Amino acid sequence: MNGVVRLRESDGSVRQLSVADAVAEASTDLQRGGAAHALRLLDQAVHRAPQAPAVRYLLGVAQLRHDQRDLAISNLERAVRSDARNVDYLAALGEALIPERPLDAIAYFAAAIELGAKRPDVYSLLASILINMRRPADALNACDLGLTACGDAPEILGNRGVALRDLARYEEALHDLKKTESLLPHDYRVLVGIGNILSDLGRLAEASDYFTKAAALRPGDPVCRYNLALTLLLAGNLRDGFREYEWRWGNRQFAGHRPRFAQPLWDGSALDGRHLLLSFEQGAGDTIQFARYVQFAKERGARITMLVQRPLLRLMTWQADEVAVTDTPPANFDVYCPLGSLPHVAGTDLVSIPAPAQFEIPAITRWQWHARLGERTGARIAIVWAGAAGHLNDHNRSIPLQRLTPLFDAPGAEWFSLQVGPASEQLAQSGIRDLGPYLSDYAETAAALEHMDLVITVDTSVAHLAGTLNVATWVMIPFAPDWRWMRDRGDSPWYPSMKLYRQQTAGDWDTVLKTIKADLTRRLSE
């Protein structure tokens, strides 16, 4: 690395360094967090020694810290081409590629591990990518390799706990995160992770304590407060839970979902004929669940427009109070409120949950479905076994259709599938009548549900719709449930016609289905 680097100091003087000295000084600065000074040194050094991989590597690291990701990747790729067996080069390039080329990042981290990397961040970053790709078993393997190579590094232990949680191995996950806490007692992220697992295990008071401790370490952090909200809601403390639920907007999973309008947010005060926009924010099930609050807004004197997902558009026009519905916001309105904020605005607690929305299904649609279904041959039972694959908890809440087979020999039943999407392909040769091709939107699904005597479903939007329509609905709930199903109860305060069948241990659908089979046999024999 021949050549001289000339660096102008703040007092106007010029300092001369060899390229080797400039690289050494830049490396020290980067270790101390001084990326700006290092970048000045390395910008010159690379012109004096363009082929030197150490210069390209350090320049790439400095650029990455200055959010110059494309330049960083270019320089790090050159460093790796020059020396493909340097673990530091491979690790830095892997880190730079994570946001946009995660598969390539995995390959570079794997190469570093193959060369015997003993850097905890290599294993931790690899595990993080795999967790985000919903490959928790692979993430767990990466963490186990890292613990063997690096010992009990807290970043590896923490990700191992996350992977175990995703695999529904909650007690093991708690053990790892408790060990992480002993190493990093003041890391709010570790406390949040422990709180989440305690919540999964139903230890809700302990979970709340951990979220509260995390929030004290990180005042105003939305992750701490949002997770506290979910635990409070799970415990049935709806008033405090929905207050804390307003912190959801700061969480990554809600990015892009928050409505942004120039008009003010409605606080629940009397509207006296003013125009209120109610906007959806999450999945169809949430929209159906919170549509009940339209009546509350109506009673405050609002003129209402609902902004809903397109598959819900026709269904919402059938509400008994004739609320206007649109899939694009109107040009003029006075105030707005996201649907998920309405329970807080209304001051909802367990005893004041409004009745479900009322959908007035047109007579012609009812008759179309009457004709489509034909004459009864037994009790009509609809099934849904899978939710949207993109849902974060879908691997726990959805089950294969084959697992439901023991139900289908119950005498006196006529079985129908309301499953849509790729999971409906499992119906082949099942003998169950497939209504999926007719379910073009939720209005058609509602009309089909009205003709059913019973719905057996996993936790998905059909459960909310069937419960709203007051159809007898049996919902299969995973061990770690969504907040709205709470803990340790067989009914739902949100839906009077609903019965909940809960896993008592993680992943145990067999016991759930045995209980459903016994109840179904009893019901059909009455």
| Reported confidence tier of residue 11, pLDDT bands at 50, 70, 90 | low
Do residues 306 and 278 lie in contact, with contact meaning Cβ atoms separated by under 8 Å? yes
In contact, 193 and 158? CB cutoff 8 Å: yes
Question: How far is it, in rounded angstroms, from Cα 217 to Cα 141?
Answer: 32
User: Tens digit of pLDDT for each residue in 26-79?
Assistant: 677 777 777 777 777 777 667 677 788 887 888 888 888 888 899 989 989 999
CA separation for the pair 424, 446 (Å, rounded): 18
| pLDDT tens-digit map of 444-477 | 999 999 999 999 999 999 999 999 999 999 999 9
Give 224-278 pLDDT, tens digit per residue. Answer: 999 999 999 999 999 999 999 999 998 888 877 888 889 999 999 999 999 999 9
Burial class (CB in 10 A: 0-12, 13-18, 19+), 248: buried
Q: How far, CA to CA in Å, does 83 sit from each of 52, 69, 92, 123, 307?
A: 10, 21, 13, 21, 56
What confidence score (pLDDT) does residue 381 get?
A: 97
Residue type, 322: E
Going by pLDDT thresholds of 50, 70 and 90, the confidence category of residue 393 is confident
pTM of the model: 0.89
| Spatial contact of 287 and 309, defined as CB atoms under 8 Å apart | yes
Give, as one character, the DSSP assignment of residue 431.
Answer: -
pLDDT at residue 345 above 80?
Answer: yes
In the chain, what is the straight-line distance between the N-terminal and C-terminal CA atoms, in Å? Answer: 89
Q: Residue 14 pLDDT more than 70? A: no
H helices, E strands: number in the chain: 23, 13
**Higher-pLDDT residue of 280, 2:** 280
- Residues 472-491 pLDDT 10s: 999 999 999 999 999 999 99
CA separation for the pair 74, 81 (Å, rounded): 11
Just give the CATH number of 369-525: 3.40.50.2000
- Look at residue 250 and give its three-state secondary structure: helix
Provide the CATH number for the domain formed by 21-117 in this structure: 1.25.40.10
Phi, psi of 304 (to 5 degrees): -115, 135
Dihedrals φ, ψ of 73, to 5°? -60, -40
Measured CA to CA, the distance from residue 61 to residue 57 in angstroms comes to: 6
More confident site: 473 or 397:
473
Residue 53 has which token pair? 């991989």
Cα 231 from Cα 465, distance rounded (Å):
25
Domain residue extents for the chain:
21-117, 263-360, 369-525
CA pseudo-torsion sign 77, 83, 85, 88: negative
Q: What's residue 129's pLDDT?
A: 97
The secondary structure of residue 353, as a DSSP letter, is P
Give me Rg for the CA atoms of the chain: 28
Amino acid of residue 414: E
Residue 237 CB partners (closer than 8 Å, separation 6+) = none
- pLDDT for 258 equals 84
CA distance 145 to 399: 31
* Token pair in block for residue 494: 């949100």
Q: Give the Cα separation of 45 and 19 in Å (integer).
A: 6
Q: Which residue has the tokens 């549900």?
A: 449
Residue 156 burial by Cβ neighbours in a 10 Å radius (0-12, 13-18, 19+): buried
- pLDDT tens digits for range 70-88: 998 998 999 999 999 999 9
